[in-house]
Amino acid sequence: MDNSTRDTELLVRYLDNELAAGEKSALEQRLEESAALREELESLRLAREAVRRFGLSRQVKTVHEQMKKELRPVRKMTRGRKFARYSLAVAASLLIVVIGVLGYNFYTLSPARVYASNFRSYELATMRDPGAPSTPIETAYRERDFQKLVRAGKDEKSLSPREQFLVAMAHTELKNYSAAIDEFKKLTARGGESGAAAVMPETEYYLALVYVRNKDYDLALELLHKIHDDPSHPYHARVSGKLIRQVKMLKWR
């Protein structure tokens, strides 16, 4: 055995941790002194690392071949599939948001809410003739003294259509919805009388709202449809499709 082979065996035994203490310290002494010996040790160490890596790779490869049969193939996502997936995700998200909003609105919808969001106090000035004297009922309405107005309405033997409308509005403001409905209906029955036509559009509108508040949805819808379908009706703009849908939803609940 030549010196080179003997050194290789010694270095391999050193790597394998098989040297006796004396042999080990002697070799370490020589390693300090010889760059060539250090280089050979490094090469053998790399060779050992290569064997370990090879063994591990081979074992993983063997399991890999077994697993290929077990695992389903991963489908590559094409650009079209990606686009379709993202579009579907966006559409689904929007649908969830829409359903959520509709659900929330449906859940929180109430006759009081629909009424409150559509009711605005009637402006008396719009029906007064310039220069005409104010009646006690008109004065009470302008002063928003609705109790006084209702009392005055009871005392008055014959109310003009305009005064009767104000009495109905006073009951509405006082939240006496049944009484308001009665007054509005009396006024509707006087449709042929002089002056009644002038207050009929507002009568229909406010009666419809009071019907909603009083949960008389069919009667409310009849009036609302009439106003909504007639573009020349003075209250046409106030009766939106949304309002009609809300009343229908209230009816379904």
Partner 1 sequence: MEAVKTFSDAELVANLRSGKRMDECIGAIYRDYFDSLSWYVMNNSGSRQDAEDLFQEVVVSFIDLVQKDKFRGDSSVKTFLFSLNRHGWLNELKRRGRALAREEKFEKGQERADPGAEAYITRREERNRLVELIGKLGETCKKILVWFYYEERSIADILKSLHYENEQVVRNKKSKCLKQLAVLINQNPALKQTLKNILNG
Whether residue 243 contacts residue 235, with contact meaning beta carbons closer than 8 Å, is answered with: no
Count CA within 13 A, CB hemisphere, residue 10: 20
Amino acid at 207: L
How many other C-beta atoms lie within 10 A of the C-beta of residue 172? Answer: 25
Span near partner 1 by CB under 8 A; candidates 7-15, 116-124, 184-192, 204-212: 7-15
Stretch that binds partner 1, among 50-58, 102-110, 167-175, 240-248 (CB under 8 A): 50-58
Q: Which is nearer to partner 1, 60 or 97 (CB)?
A: 60
Whose Cβ is closer to partner 1: residue 77's or residue 95's? 77
Tokens representing 165 are: 């409308």
Draw the binding track, 74-113, toward partner 1 (x: CB under 8 A; -: no contact): x-xx------------------------------------
Among 40, 145, 216, 230, binds partner 1 (CB under 8 A): 40
Q: What is the DSSP-derived secondary structure letter of residue 251? A: H
Place of tokens 């082979």: 5
Q: Which residue among 25, 43, 87, 105 contacts partner 1 (CB under 8 A)?
A: 43
CB-CB neighbours of 117 under 10 Å:
10
Q: Does 219 bind partner 1 (CB under 8 A)?
A: no
Closest CA to 115 of 163, 180, 167, 164: 180
* Residues in contact with partner 1 by the rule CB under 8 A: 5, 8-9, 12-13, 40, 43-64, 66-68, 70-71, 73-74, 76-77
